[in-house]
Structure 1
Amino acid sequence: MQTTQELFDKLASFEPGDAYVLSIYLDMSPHMSGKRPWTRTSTPVLRNRIREIEKTLLPRHPMLDSFNKDVEKVQSYMENHVEPWQQGVAIFACHERGLFETLEVGTAFQNQIAFEPYPDLFQLAHLLDKHETVITALVDTNTTRLFVTRWGFLEEIPGPEVLPRGYGKRNATCLNQARYHRRVENKRKAFAREAASAIEDLVKQEDAQRVILAGDAVAIPLLHEELSNTVEPLVHEEVLRLDINTPLREVHDEIKPVIEYLEREASHSQVDNLVEGIRANGLVVSGIQETLDALEHGQADVLILANDVPLDDQQRNTLVRKAANSGARVEVVESNPVLQELGGVGAQLRYRPQWV
């Protein structure tokens, strides 16, 4: 099964030729008000947009037959594969070139249906940027619960086996106090090593960019001591105080705002670096034409895009596609007035362009 990054790369390099691609992003979360509170608002949006596009191809446009076959596959997919718990669905179809790709995620897309010469990649790029893989470790001194957040979904992964609680009051009567406390401390440190090893293995396996720790005040410092210099910098400084038996749904609710905060901080840090680079005449450019030139020449390292005005959908999609095909990372920034003043787009460069 291909990853979201692999899907993004495949679509970015897709060349439809003289055919058009149907790109669909849908918000599958139910509308919670009105006479039908569980109705998904994306259903009428999709239906109406398909009718609008179809009218532009009537009565006998060369692409009409291919478009209708794409619509049939989309409708069949929506009827037979979309589950009630899904929050967002993306579909990319081009019958003429044998393309039909789908993506189901645990976060809502903005409803968007486009029929254009290339796949529309902006919301997919936003998803890749916004939803980094995050590992959450919920620990106490003898239990570890591990969670992975991917694309809005939270999954619990089996952690180290629970150590027996073999150092209670009964044991304290058999040993002098110093030996007893030393034994307790040694067991706690041993389990912290196991927990740290499990976290590090999972970070490597999932290629996670962030780690969130949650648990009690005794276990967390011991865990920090055992984490390697590779993983420790990934750990968020705030520790969540959660009980080891916290239900999965509550864990999701607690870590969601933390993950959103981390993404906002990372995005705004990129804009700060862009602004500092402009002031220092450094390795940055801003504005759509300057950024396009940098992407065309393969000199952009990070493309920084506003998630709102002033760029239109076609401009953003062109920038994202060129970034993907030149190996530049895409950073999507929410509601930043400074970036908007710079035209809504900029780039950090690998080296100074020769045309400057």
Structure 2
Amino acid sequence: MQTAQELFHKLASFEPDGAYVLSIYLDMSPHMSGKQPWRRTSTPVLKKRLREIEKTLQPRHAMLDAFRKDAEKVQAYMENHVEPWLQGMAIFSCSDYGLFEVLEAGVSFQNQVMFEPYPDLFQLARLLDEQETVITAIVDTNTTRLFVTRRGFLEEVAGPDDSPRGYGKRNATCLNQARYHRRAENKRKEFAREAASAIEDLVQQEGARRVILAGDAVAIPLLHQELSSAIEPLVHEETLKLDITTPHREVQDEIQPIIEYMERESSHSQADNLVEAIRANGLAVSGMQETLDALDHGQADVLLMSDDVAFDEKQRSELVRKAANTGAKVDVVKGHPVLQEMGGVGALLRYHAHWV
């Protein structure tokens, strides 16, 4: 099964050669109001937009038949495959070239339906930026619970558990107090090493760039001692105080604000770097045309776009597609006033321009 990142790059390199692509983003979360409190408002939005687009192709537009095939395929999928727990869904369809891709998300998209020469990738890029894979570990001195957050979904995976080797209080009657405490401490350290190893293996397996730790006051310091220098920089500075038995839903509720905070801090740091580099006449550009030029020449390393500035949708989609096809990371920044004043778009560069 392809990842969201793989889908992003596949769609960015897709060349429909004259055909159009139906790009759909939907907010699938139920809105708890009105006479039908569980009804998803995206359903009438989708039908309305499909009717509006079809009218622009009548009576005999060359793309009318292709659009109808795409619309029918989308509606059939929505009727037969949508799960009640979904919060967001993205669909990309181009029947002429056999393209039909669906991405399900645990966070909502803004409702958007487009029929354009290329897939619209902005909201997918924003999902990848804001919902990076995160590893969460809840630990005590003999149990580790591991979670992976992908695309807004939280999944619990197997972690180490030393219960077969337990060292409960019943052993204290067989050992003097000093030996008991020494043995208990050694077992805690041993389990911390196992937990650290499991976290590092999962980070590598998932390609995660962020780690959240939660647990008791005894286990966390021991765990930090065992984490490698490669993992420690990924660890969020705040340790959550969660019990090892915390229910799955509560874990998600607790870590989601942390994930949002980490992403906001990272994005603002990148925007600050952009501002400083421009002031120093360094490796950065701002403004729409300058950024497009940098992307065209493969010069951009990070594309920064303000989420608070209204861009032309075609231009915005073009920026994201060019970034993906030249290996530039896309960073969507919220609430950075200086970036907004600079037109809301810029790029950190790999090298100085020689084509100006």
Superposition TM-score, scaled by structure 2 size? 0.98
Please tell me whether residue 318 in structure 1 is matched to residue 318 in structure 2. Answer: yes
Which amino acid letter does the alignment assign opposite residue 180 of structure 1? Y
- Structure 2 distance, partners of 1:10, 1:279, is 36
Q: In structure 2, the residue corresponding to 1:212 is in which secondary structure?
A: strand
**Distance (Å, rounded) in 1 between the aligned partners of 2:169 and 2:119:** 66
Please give the alpha-carbon distance, in whole angstroms, between the structure 1 residues aligned to 2:243 and 2:129.
31
Where in structure 2 are the equivalents of 1:272-283 lying within 5 Å? 272-283=272-283
> What is the match of residue 262 of structure 1?
262
Q: Distance in 2 between matches of 1:290 and 1:167?
A: 64
Task: Determine the structure 2 residue equivalent to 1:243.
Answer: 243
CA–CA distance in structure 2, aligned partners of residues 342 and 286 of structure 1: 7
Deviations 1:126-168 (A, max 9, x none): 1111111000000000001000000000000011123347434
Q: Supply the AA of the counterpart residue of 2:284.
A: V
* One-letter amino acid of the structure 2 residue matched with residue 313 of structure 1: E
Q: CA deviation at 1:276?
A: 0.5
- Asked if 2 retains the 8 angstrom alpha-carbon contact of 1:16 and 1:117, the reply is yes
- What is the identity, as a one-letter code, of the residue corresponding to 1:172? A
1:199 is matched with which residue? Answer: 199
CA contact (8 A) 1:163 1:191 kept: no
Residue 23 (1) aligns with residue 23 (2): yes
Preserved contact between residue 310 and residue 343 of structure 1 (Cα < 8 Å):
no
Deviations 1:277-305 (A, max 9, x none): 11111100000000000000100000001
Partner of 2:176: 176
- Name the CA distance, whole Å, in 2 between partners of 1:240 and 1:104: 28
Deviates more, 1:309-318 or 1:320-329: 309-318
For residues 101-140 of structure 1, give each alpha carbon's deviation from its aligned partner in whole angstroms, at most 9, with x where no partner exists.
1111111000000011110000011111111100000000
1:349 maps to which residue?
A: 349
Task: Please tell me whether residue 99 in structure 1 is matched to residue 105 in structure 2.
Answer: no
CA–CA distance in 1 between the matches of 2:227 and 2:280?
38
Is the CA contact 1:274–1:284 (under 8 Å) kept in the aligned structure 2? yes
Distance (Å, rounded) in 1 between the aligned partners of 2:155 and 2:108: 18
Post-superposition Cα deviations, 1:200-233, rounded to whole Å, max 9, x if no partner, equal 1111110111110000000000000111111111
Identity over aligned residues, as a percent?
77
SS at match of 2:115: strand
Summarize the Cα distance change of 1:103–1:166 in structure 2 as closer, same or farther, 3 Å threshold.
Answer: closer
2: CA distance, partners of 1:103 / 1:259: 21
Q: What stretches of structure 1 of length at least 5 have no aligned partner?
A: none
The one-letter amino acid of 1:142's match is: N
Q: Where do 5+ consecutive residues of structure 2 fail to align?
A: none
Which residue number in structure 2 is paired with residue 149 of structure 1? 149
Q: What is the match of residue 90 of structure 1?
A: 90
Q: Does the 8 Å CA contact 1:46/1:113 hold for their aligned counterparts?
A: yes
For 1:259 and 1:119, locate their aligned partners in 2 and report how far apart those are by CA, in whole Å.
28
State the SS of the aligned residue for 1:137: strand
Separation (CA, whole Å) in 1 of partners of 2:52 and 2:337: 34
User: How far 1:234 sits from its partner (Å)?
Assistant: 0.7
Over 3 Å counting, the alpha-carbon distance change for 1:166 and 1:63 in structure 2 is: closer
TM-score, L = length of structure 1: 0.98
Please state if 1:11 is matched with 2:15: no
The question of 1:119 aligning with 2:114 is answered: no
Aligned to 1:133: 133
Aligned to 1:187: 187
How far apart, CA to CA, are the structure 1 residues paired with 2:150 and 2:128?
Answer: 10
Q: CA RMSD in A?
A: 1.1
Q: Distance in 2 between matches of 1:214 and 1:13?
A: 40
1:65 to 2:65 alignment: yes
Q: In the alignment, what sits opposite 1:81?
A: 81
Q: Distance in 2 between matches of 1:116 and 1:107?
A: 25
Please tell me the residue identity of whatever aligns with 2:63: M
Range 322-331 or range 333-342, more displaced: 333-342
Displacement after TM superposition at 1:315 (Å): 1.1
Number of positions where the alignment pairs a residue of Structure 1 with one of Structure 2: 356
Matches of 2:101 and 2:167, distance apart in 1 = 55
Are 2:299 and 1:295 equivalent residues in the alignment?
Answer: no
Mapped contact 1:27–1:111 kept (Cα < 8 A):
yes
Greater Cα offset, 170-179 or 9-18: 170-179
What is residue 234 of structure 1 aligned with on the other side?
A: 234
Structure 1 contact 264–334 (Cα < 8 Å) conserved: yes
Q: Secondary structure at the match of 2:163?
A: coil
Structure 1 residues 292-341: Cα deviation after superposition (integer angstroms, max 9, x where no partner) = 00000100000001123232211110000111111111101113221111
Matched to 1:277, the amino acid is: A
What code does the residue aligned with 2:34 have?
G
Confirm or deny: 8 A CA contact 1:144 1:162 kept in the other structure: no
